[in-house]
Amino acid sequence: MSGSLSRRNFLSKAAAAVAAPYIVPASVLGRGGATPPSERIVCAGIGIHGRGFDDLRAMVSHRDVQFVAICDIWKQQRHAVKDFIDDHHGNKDCKMYRDIREFCAERQDIDAVLIATGDHWHAQASVRAMQAGMDVFTEKPSSMTIAEGQAVVAAAKRYGRVYQTGTQRLSEANHVFAIEMARAGKLGQIHTAYAHIAPWDSAKMPNTWKEAQEQPPVDEVDWDIWLGPCPWRPFNMDYVKGGWRDCYDFHTSCIGEWGAHTFAQAQAGLNAGDTSPVKYQYVDNDSGDGMVCTFANGQKMILSRGDQYWHGSCGERFDGDDGWAAAADGYSMPDVSNPKMLAEFKKVVGEYVARTGRSLDHMRNFLDCVKTREETVANPSVMHRSMSTVHAANICMWLGRDLEYDPVKEEFVNDDEANRMRARAQREPWVI
Amino acid sequence: MRNIIGSLLLAGLVVLAAVPAVAQDTNPLEVLQSDASPEQKSQACIKLSVNGPVEAVPVLAALLVDEKLSHMARYALEPMPYPEAGQALRDALGKTSGRLKVGVINSLAIRKDQQAIPLLIPLLVDADADVAQATAVALGPFATDEIQKALMIVLSQPNLAPGRFNAMCDGLFQCAEARAARNQKVEAIALYKTLLELPNTQTQLRTAALRGAVLNFGVEKGMPLLTQYLQGENTDDFFSALRVARELSEQPGATAALAALLPQLPPERRVLFIDLFGENDGDAAGAALIAQAGEDPVELRVAALKALTRMHYSPALDLISNLAWTAEGPLAEASRDALAYFPGADGDAALQALLTHADPKARRVAVELVGQGGLDNPAAVLLNTAVTDADESVRVAALEGLHGYASPEEMQSLLDKVIHSTSPAEARAAERALTALGERQKQMPGGIVVQKAVYGNLPDGPSADVTEQVSRIVAEGAPTMQASNANFGDPAPGAVKKLSVEYTDNGTPISKTVAENETLKFKEGIAPAALVDAYFAAFDQAQGDTKLALMRLLGSTGSPKAFEVVRANATTGEGAMKDTALRTLCEWPTSEALPTLLELSKTSVDPALKTLALGGAVRLLGATPPGEALPQYVAFMAQASTPEEKKLVLSGIAQVHNLEALNLAFAQMHDPAVKPEAAQAAIAIARGLNQPSVEEKSFFNGADLTGWESGTNYWRVEEGAIVGQTTEPITQNEFLWSAIPVSDFYLSVDVLLEPNEANSGIQFRSKKADERGQATGYQADMGKDVWGHLYHEHGRGKLDWVGDAETMVKPGEWNHYEILAVGPAIWTALNGKIGVAFLDPEGANELSGLIAFQVHAGPPQKAQFKIRHLVHNPRIEMETLGPRDLISALRDPQQ
């Protein structure tokens, strides 16, 4: 029932062994071994396409998941998800909804919902789902502003909901190793962490409107709901297909794109999951590369766009008095100052699992918590604090000056303009 | 006026470098008051939101009633620190309605505008539900007596709509939170208790109320209330309380109180409850959990062991250590995990102690746990045990543990074990460790030349040419590469990308495509030369079983030189050498062995070897293009003599997603010994079937019988339906023929037969038996007692007469009839229930033909057909039935 302390999950270094042909189980004609209904988690999805399908596959790969409904403003995707799910479950039971309000009002039976909309809907949808009694797994970045993050934290607390943001590297063994090495002091006192930001675009987003196209019927594409709480602009199908990343209205820039992951990773290793840096030092470039963020205890987190600290994407590195450790996608093992540290890999990771009871499968960790009502590894506070760092770093870049932030009051110090950017008015009728 | 404000402001406005793309020298206020484009006005408001001065307020206020710009006006006004902005929003309350008013209310809420309270309270009962709900949520945080009372009054109205009810509750929860924050605990608790006692509320509302009450009560007063819910009959209440208990456990003294409650809960709840004890709870709850670790059911004991480990409760180590080698089943697994990963030095010490335990069984377990990472530097610990332990089984276990750790450093010691150990089990374990070591060290052989590589949202989306990067990775010798942003950047953010590579392997052109995060495998790797050379040197010296072991090790390297030696021994060797060489070939990792294995699988006289060769061939065929593999599977299937062999072939066929493979799988469903596997393969193929379905457009035009033919005048079109009607008794069956030939098809049609006691049917894949239009072939039957059955007109008669889809038929009404035929498989369904799922063992010559509707010989009748769809090359699905439903229902009535 609880987070499985299992070597099966993570110690199967599949390097060895010639793969045997795929053996066909004999139980095909029955559905032997299925999870009894009482232990099934009834799940649904909101806004799933592209990368969202990865999450969906991850979710339904767990046998205790029964996926029953999809809510999406885009008809084609509603049907694509329904087809996928019906095929997966071998029935035709997946129900389709266009409007999240109807979906939340009607589906009291749903335990947990997967949210993989465009970024600007993550917090709005999370709050609504939690108010309706659903637990939430949402893609990152999970808030557009500091205020949205606060609303997510408040709703999860108020209604006792389990929430996980999709920063899956917090559950991956390589990152767990680097984080635990830092957290447990095995690198000495940590003075600096480095966090990767997306190397392909800018912190400064043009926000220009794409050419207006004829708006399709709401049943095909509900443009009004797609826009949701964001400023109105004319319909263009490119947005719906995912072309919204260069827009201030819809995106949190190259800093949020990967910082949503890497700031959470870095803050976990710094034991700073429940706070944010207090100082943000403006850098005179387009991306925020090299920005030094300083925590109240003097520890630094430096934004890095290049790969001098790691050899892959979404990396973080911890530099301590006695050594350093780094992890990123594309590593077979973490990178360390002394290779002997790696002999401890299984031990460090195993002890993390033993200490926390958490699965090293991000989705499994969420599903376990749905059952046990525990806090997830990427819970609302972890999301909100790392995203607050993202928002503060963005505001620093946008205003073009150094900022000071008070993570207790959650306000910038002596900077009215920065404080005015902590929230954005939600477009009616959306309320947060 | 306008210009004056404009010029006053120009100097004061800080230019935002990054926010919106308004030309930097334009004054946003001037833009708003000009005939600038909606885009420019929107961007101007974004700018004003950050640094708009108080002078901007009146301009923005005027826009609050503008349907198109109201939001953007709020966008600018909402964060402004000026009281004038609040006044403008309050003024707008009376001038707006519907959506715009909801927005204004929300902005006042975000501004925490006290002066808005009296204006908002009346809106709690607004006729517009959205307005009332937004108001409730907006007012809650102010938490005045008046607001609380007003919310309660609305809440107590009978038949309040659920949306309003939940919003009022949300407002009251915010009230309670605000009071608790002001330290008005008594008032907060009273409010939470009131909310808790509301009847029939949704679970999340009860959770919220219970949470607030218990947490504000604190441990002493909160525990009785919490206990009541933890012990309540309602499971939802238990889960609500469980969540609350987690938060309460952070308060001082809570852990001990919760631990004391543990024995009072039923065991299945205890299992979940135990999970809430964590890292810092050892002192308060450790003893209670040790007691639980001894109680049934086993799930409870397992949960207790995990908790004791989480909390690093060292007094539990004796128990854990003991259970680790004496317990069985889940308890053994839990205690072993606990011992391996018990945090800290005392955990390591306990495992060290077990390594030197007097009982070999205990030492064996300890060695396994070291292999799982229980101690630092596991390779050294394991090698030491493998060399020094007095017990053979412990030494074997240590060698097995090295499987995951052995590096070139341990290679010679392991090879010595293979050569010199007198224990066959030890030699074998050392051999396996070496094999694993070789796998980890493998490198791709030469011969790969990358022609072109593309990574992106293929085929039509943005992509990048990554030929150079792929070539570099190949040149570095990696036999596989991951299609990931890490390797290739992100040319299409948000999309699930593909990597497509065209390359030649020793001159043979190959093209492979994998999805993002999948691994592209060029070819099997080969172990490094140092390892191969060491094996060869030892092989030349060795005798007997050791030589056989070294031959297997040579085989595991995949080296071409080793292949020649092994193949030579397979051909010319004798006895055990020949046998081992043959078996080594069957497990050969590279496609070099495929021709030999194909040959062996056909010619071997040793049945066991034949099956092994077949398995090896299927494994290697999995890496070859489906077009080349399929003919081999066909040949294999033709000569497969045992169910085991057929299953192997089926597992290969299942990976080929075309119709030919599907028909091969269908054909095997006639064999009861492999039917489940054949069905599984068919389902896998059907799900991935890569042929495009085509909807037939010229089957029926809805208006007349163009494209249809009959020798009688019984047929007409009425209200979009094809009608076959006889007004007098007729002596033979008559048909209306479509000119559209069908082979694999799906037909969906609504049918109405009057009277239900008459008979009609739908011919398919049929032929005209004579010029008059009599029919030969399959018929999906209609009529009392025959609905959904499969008949064979003028031929084989009743083909499948068993199904009970007729239970779904509404006599005398329209019923939905579906027919699906793919290869030898034929399905009918009525109103979503399968009528027949028939595998025709004799249908090889009837895979295509025509569709015809029937009126049957006998008294007058009327049969009507409303066509929904005719689809060629369909997927294996019906309206409410998927591939698994349909294929697993298939049967061969002759069985």
Query: DSSP letter string over A26-88?
Result: GGGGTTTTPPPGGGPEEEEEES--TTHHHHHHHHHTSTTEEEEEEE-SBHHHHHHHHHHHHHH
Predicted pLDDT at B1? 40
Judged by CB atoms closer than 8 Å, whether chains meet at B16 and A398 is answered as yes
Instruction: Find residue B443's DSSP bridge partners.
Output: B526
Question: Strand runs (DSSP E) across A132-286, as ranges?
Answer: 135-138, 163-165, 190-196, 279-280
**Which residue in the set A2, A90, A419 is minimally distant from B275, CB to CB?**
A2
User: Touching check for A297 and chain B: CB below 8 Å?
Assistant: no
What does the alpha-carbon distance between residue A236 and residue A258 come to, in Å, rounded to a whole number? Answer: 26
Q: What is the residue-wise DSSP string for B526-547?
A: B--HHHHHHHHHHHHH--HHHH
Minimum CA–CA partner of B239 in chain A: A373
Distance CA A203, CA A258 (A): 12
Q: Confidence class of residue A136 from pLDDT cuts 50, 70 and 90? A: very high
Amino acid at A333: M
Task: Look at residue B751 in the predicted model and tell me its pLDDT.
Answer: 97
Q: Are the CB atoms for B428 and B447 separated by under 8 Å?
A: no
Tens of pLDDT, residue by residue over A388-415, are 999 999 999 999 999 999 999 999 999 9
Between CA B17 and CA B21, with CA B19 as vertex, the angle to 5 degrees is: 85
Percent of chain A with pLDDT over 90: 79
- Cβ neighbours around B397 below 10 Å, total: 25
Burial class (CB in 10 A: 0-12, 13-18, 19+), A43: buried
Quickly state the pLDDT bin for A37 (edges 50, 70, 90).
low
pLDDT of the residue at A11? 24
What is d(CA A314, CA A329) in angstroms, rounded to the nearest whole number? 6
Distance from CA of A277 to the nearest CA of B (A): 22
Strands B833-839, A300-304: pairing is unpaired
Q: Is the pLDDT of residue A224 over 90?
A: yes
Distance CA(B222)–CA(A215), nearest Å, equals: 55
> B866 forms bridges with which residues in the sheet?
B750
**Phi/psi-derived region of residue B287, left when phi > 0, alpha when psi is between -120 and 50, beta in every other case:** alpha
Listed by number, the residues of chain B in 250-279 with a beta carbon closer than 8 Å to a beta carbon of chain A are 271-272, 275-276, 278-279
B18 vs A204, A357, A374: nearest CB: A204
| A5 shares contact with chain B (CB less than 8 Å) | yes
pLDDT value of position B19: 53
Q: Alpha-carbon Rg of chain B, whole angstroms? A: 39
| Contacts with A365 (C-beta within 8 Å, 6 or more apart), sequence order | A3, A164, A171, A358, A359, A376, A377
Is the predicted pLDDT of residue A36 greater than 80, yes or no?
A: no
CB atoms within 10 A of CB A237: 15
- Name beta bridge partners: B849: B742
- Read off the pLDDT of residues B367-413 as tens digits, 9 standing for 90 and up: 999 998 899 889 999 999 999 999 999 999 999 999 888 888 999 99
A157-172 residue pLDDT tens: 999 999 999 999 999 9
Cα separation values, A387 from A142, A147, A164, A263, B466, Å: 8, 11, 14, 8, 33
> What are the counts of helices (DSSP H) followed by strands (DSSP E) for chain B?
39, 21
3-state helix, strand, coil in chain B (%, to 5): 55, 15, 30
Q: What is the largest CA-CA distance in chain A?
A: 69
Query: Given CB atoms, is B494 within the 8 Å cutoff of chain A?
Result: yes
Per CB-CB distance under 8 Å, the chain B contacts of A197 are none
Q: What is the mean pLDDT of residues A226-236?
A: 97
Tokens of B717: 């079109």
Q: Check if A323 contacts B (Cβ < 8 Å).
A: no
d(CA B338, CA B324): 9
Range 73-102 of A in CB contact (< 8 A) with B? 86-87, 89-92
**Nearest-CA residue of chain B relative to A196?**
B486
How close is the nearest chain B Cα to the Cα of A113, in Å?
15
Q: Which residues of A touch B204 (CB under 8 A)?
A: 130-133, 159-161
Q: How far is CA B842 from the centre of its chain?
A: 39
A7–B337: do the CB atoms touch at under 8 Å?
A: yes
What is the distance between the alpha carbons of residues B212 and B184, in angstroms, rounded to a whole number? 13
A71/A66 Cα distance (integer angstroms): 16
Element (H, E) at B271: helix B267-274
Pairing label, strands A300-304, A190-196: parallel
Of B130, B174, B243, the CB nearest to A429: B130
Beta bridge partners of A190: A320
Which of the 8 DSSP states describes residue B759? E
Under 8 Å CB-to-CB from B575, ≥6 apart: which residues? none
Size of interface A-B (CB pairs under 8 A): 309
Q: Give the Cα separation of B564 and B550 in Å (integer).
A: 15
The residues in B 581-620 lying below 8 A from A, measured between CB atoms, are 587, 589, 615, 618-619
Question: Residues in chain B with pLDDT < 70?
Answer: 1-25, 486, 494, 690, 893-895
Q: Find the residue in B nearest to A135 (Cα).
A: B204
* Helices and strands, counts by H and E, chain A: 14, 15
**By three-state DSSP, how is residue B480 classified?**
strand
Nearby residues of B88 by Cβ (< 8 Å), 6 or more positions away:
B57, B58, B60, B61, B64, B77
For A74, counting Cβ atoms within 10 Å of its Cβ (0-12 exposed, 13-18 middle, 19+ buried), the class is: buried
Q: Are B205 and B195 in contact (CB under 8 A)?
A: yes
Min Cα–Cα distance to chain A from B170, Å: 8
Question: What DSSP element (H or E) covers B187?
Answer: helix B185-196
Whether chain B has a CB inside 8 Å of the CB on A51: the answer is yes
B651 contact A CB<8A? yes
> What is the rounded distance in angstroms from the CA atom of residue A21 to the CA atom of residue A132?
46
Nearest to A231 among B14, B75, B680 (CB): B75
Chain A contact present for B880, CB below 8 A: yes
Cβ-defined contact of B243 to A373 (cutoff 8 Å) = yes
Distances (CA, A) of B437 to B92, B406, B414, B560: 75, 6, 10, 19
Q: Is B215 an interface residue toward A (CB < 8 Å)?
A: no
Q: Beta-carbon neighbour count of residue B859 at 10 Å? A: 12
User: Positive or negative CA dihedral for A328, A331, A332, A336?
Assistant: negative
Contact B102 A356 (CB under 8 A): no
* Spacing of C-alpha B390 from chain mean position: 49
The verdict on a CB contact (< 8 Å) between A5 and B337 is yes
Mean pLDDT of A28-43: 55
Q: Among all residues of chain B, which has the CA nearest to that of A7?
A: B372
Is pLDDT larger for residue A56 or for residue A11?
Answer: A56
Partners of B103 on chain A (C-beta within 8 Å) are 425-429
The complex's ipTM works out to 0.91
Q: Are A190 and A320 in contact (CB under 8 A)?
A: yes
What residues pair up with B730 in beta bridges, in sequence order? Answer: B858
Q: Does A147 touch chain B (CB under 8 A)?
A: yes
